Amino acid sequence: DTGVSQNPRHKITKRGQNVTFRCDPISEHNRLYWYRQTLGQGPEFLTYFQNEAQLEKSRLLSDRFSAERPKGSFSTLEIQRTEQGDSAMYLCASSWSGEQFFGPGTRLTVL
């Protein structure tokens, strides 16, 4: 399967812990996006990369959120000091020509 993959698929953590999610895009795609989706809502944009450059990060939800794409391939999204309000589905998508291909998401539950 050469689609977008995300790991883990599910993460349960206690409030205050740090979590890190990984996204592996389609290999030839240069753009990678992170979105968050809460129950019953459409996704909201968090950040994106073109190759290894993070071109937009002002919409990350707080300074507890950070993302990296060190070699222009896979990306990680880290949330420090998690809060219950961080519970959501975190989606990754990649693209080459504009159409975005989405991964299955990582569902985060913060207890």
Q: Which of 31, 66, 68, 87 binds another protein (CB under 8 A)?
A: 31
Structure-token match 């205050």, residue found:
16
Piece of the chain touching another protein by CB under 8 A; list 10-18, 21-29, 54-62, 72-80: 54-62
∠ CA(59), CA(67), CA(15), 5° rounding?
85
Q: How far is CA 109 from CA 20, 28, 86, 90, 99, in A?
A: 13, 32, 8, 11, 29
Q: Which of 8, 56, 62, 78 binds another protein (CB under 8 A)?
A: 56
Binding site for another protein (CB under 8 A): 31, 33, 35, 40-45, 48, 50, 55-56, 59, 91, 93, 95, 98-105
